[in-house]
Amino acid sequence: MPALIDARDRQLVIGAVAVMFALLALTYFLRPAPAQQGVGIPSTYSADWLGAKAAYMLLEQSGYRVERWESPPNELPEDATGTTLIFAEPTERGSAAERVAVSRFVSNGGRLLVMGAAGANFAPLSTSIPIPDSDLTPKPFSAVLPSPLSRNAPEVTMVAPDEWKTLAPGQLAIYDRQGKPGVVWYRFGKGEVIWWAISSPASNGSIREKGNLALLLNSVGPPGSRILWDEYFHGMRRSLGSYFAATPLPWAGWQLAIVFAFVLFTFSRRSGPVRSVAAESRLSPLEFVDTLGSLYQSAQAAPAAVEIAYQRLRLSLARRLGTPVNAKLPALCQAAEERLGWPSGALFHTLSDAERAMRDIHLENGEALDLVRGLHGYLHRLETQRKPAEEGPSWK
């Protein structure tokens, strides 16, 4: 009696069943893990301790026209009067063009509320710097000036605040603790800028502390104001891809891709000639460069790369010029101008920019690359000028 299913068809059915069970197992093991309670980020979507969902919902229920801003800054309204834009410690840095768009919004009459050093990157005339602080104990800040910002809030509390380095003329410290501003206010064009040292007064876990809610309401303006709470720089981008990412379509795409890979493996794995993979020699001098570059990139250690080049240049200059290793920059640059003929202004600008970049934990890779190139350029000039002196006299 002939078999009901051909041997090749039987193999195809068995293979299809095996692929189905493999996809089911893969879906089970790669399913999203249950959400865990954590500190979170200052986003209006977050219900964690540091999230701002409670503040956003409170503003909605208090009569404010509050909305999440998920568009780039160049789409901000031209008529900014009566509008408040909030940057609550964004997790992404804006480009120069995006910061210019925010400055234009303020200059046209808008109110800008920025929190922390990350938010201050978008504020014009800002001197805020991040301060690593492992002490998470809430710290009280007292009002030092009578101001609409301190109405009904003689004291507020902040957790691990950043620092406003220098108060320029026209910039007022509204809250202060031991000589360090916690809230700064100043005008820019037709608008105004308000800086908080940290976003914790508006967080879910700290908004109920003494004076924090009053500070938030005083900072966003009177009821009925339009409030744009930025989520664009928290990674919330309005796009077709972001819409489909919230649907089961990505999982379906992965399953189709796995099935397609199995099909290719079944019918084309021996369709071409078999050749051994060319292995790159481990003695290649570029392997060390590639490995080191990958380490810096994965660790986001651009400041460390700038520091290495900076320290090497300073040590080489000190040895060549006979100056102390810890000499001040102006003295070192003046000695380089007298002994080597280098313009002291350009050298001082490069070294001071490198010192600033070494302390910037949000340093962009492009800026770090430009600084390292500039420092290596000075090293090359120093070695080129040294060679004739080291070669000695000719005895021909």
Q: In this predicted structure, which of 8-22, 91-105, 191-205 has the lowest mean pLDDT?
A: 8-22
More confident residue, 355 or 43: 43
The one-letter code for the residue type at 319 is R
Tally of CB atoms within 10 A around 44: 24
Q: What is the pLDDT of residues 278-333, one digit of tens each?
A: 776 666 666 666 777 777 677 677 888 888 888 888 888 888 888 888 888 888 88
Is the confidence at residue 109, as pLDDT, over 90?
yes
Architecture of domain 53-234: 3-Layer(aba) Sandwich (3.40)
pTM beyond 0.75, yes or no = no
CB < 8 Å & 24+ apart, contacts of 337-346 = 340/381, 340/382, 340/385, 342/378, 342/381
Over the stretch 32-79, which tens digit does the pLDDT of each residue have? 544 444 578 899 999 999 999 999 999 999 999 999 999 999 999 999
Question: Residues 157, 160, 161, 166: what is their CA dihedral angle, to the nearest 10 degrees?
Answer: 140
The pLDDT assigned to 355 comes to 85
Q: Would you say 85 and 76 are in contact if contact means Cβ atoms under 8 Å apart?
A: yes
